[in-house]
Amino acid sequence: MFEGKSFIDILNMGGWTLFVLLGASIFSVTIICFKLVEFWIKSKTARSQFVCKLVEKIKRDKLNEAVDFCDTVNSPMSPVAKAGIVAFKENERNIGEAMEREIMIQTVKLERFTTILGTLGSIAVYIGLFGTVLGIIRAFHDISKMGSGGISVVISGVSEALVATAAGLFVAIPAIIAYNFFTKLIDKFIVDMEYCSSAVSDTLKGKTGK
C-alpha cells in the first residue's frame, strides 16, 4: 500500500487530519520526554532516607541546617518540609496547614502538562475517525462521477482513508499509557509528601510539648 510513496504522500493520503495528528504526535512525545526526565530527577531521593536525615536535624535543634538541606534536595518533599520548618521558626501555630498548602502547590506542579496528554489521547482517535469519514465521503463522491470502474476507486479511497484512523490510534495509545503512568507516579509523590508532612509535624510539635 505504501510502496513507492514518500512520507508526504502518505500524509496526503489521510488528508489534512493526518497533518494535525502529526503535530499532536510530536507535541505528545515532547511532553512525555519532558515529564520522564522531570519525574526521574524527582524520584532519585528516597523518602525514608530524606525524612530520617531531616527529623534528625530537627531533633538536634539544627533548624537552619534542616532548611538548607531541603534546598539541596530536588524532590516535592523538600518544599513541603521547608514550609513546616519555616512556619515553626516564625512561631506559627498551624504548621500542618502550612505544609498542606505546599502539598497542593507541588501537586499542581507535578500535574503540569499531564492533562494535555490525557486530552490528546482522548481526541486523537476521534480526529482519525473524522479523517476516515471525510475520506470515505470523498471516495463515494468519486464513484458517483465514474462508471463501472468506480468500485476500485471506492476500495482505494477507503483504504487510504483508514490511514487516518490508524494514525489516530498511533497517537492516542502512547499518550494514554503515558498519562496513566504519570498519574500513578504523581499519586506516589503525594503519598511521599503527606508522609513527610506528618513526620515533620510530629517532630516539631514534640519539641514544643504539644
Distance (Å, rounded) from C-alpha 179 to C-alpha 148?
49
pLDDT tens digits for range 82-110? 999 998 888 766 888 889 999 999 999 99
Identify the burial level of 103 via C-beta atoms within 10 angstroms of its C-beta, where 0-12 means exposed, 13-18 middle and 19 or more buried.
Answer: buried
Which of 76-90, 148-162, 186-200 has the least mean pLDDT? 148-162
**Within-domain flag for 170:** yes
**Within-domain flag for 62:** yes
Tell me the three cell numbers of residue 58: 530537627
**Within-domain flag for 65:** yes
- Does this model's pTM top 0.85? no
**Side chain identity at residue 66, one-letter code:** A
**Within-domain flag for 2:** no
**Within-domain flag for 106:** yes
Distance (Å, rounded) from C-alpha 88 to C-alpha 66?
12
Distance (Å, rounded) from C-alpha 119 to C-alpha 40?
23
Distance (Å, rounded) from C-alpha 67 to C-alpha 54?
9
Number of domains making up the chain: 1
Tell me the three cell numbers of residue 191: 503519598
Q: Please tell me the number of Cα atoms within 13 Å of 67 on its side-chain side.
A: 10
The residue range of the domain holding 76 is: 9-37+47-205
**Within-domain flag for 3:** no
Tell me the three cell numbers of residue 56: 534528625
Distance (Å, rounded) from C-alpha 42 to C-alpha 19?
35
**5 vs 97, higher pLDDT:** 97
Residues contacting residue 190 through CB under 8 Å, at least 6 positions apart = 103, 107
Residue 192: what pLDDT? 94
Distance (Å, rounded) from C-alpha 148 to C-alpha 154?
11
**Within-domain flag for 42:** no
**Within-domain flag for 63:** yes
pLDDT tens digits for range 167-188? 889 999 999 999 999 999 999 9
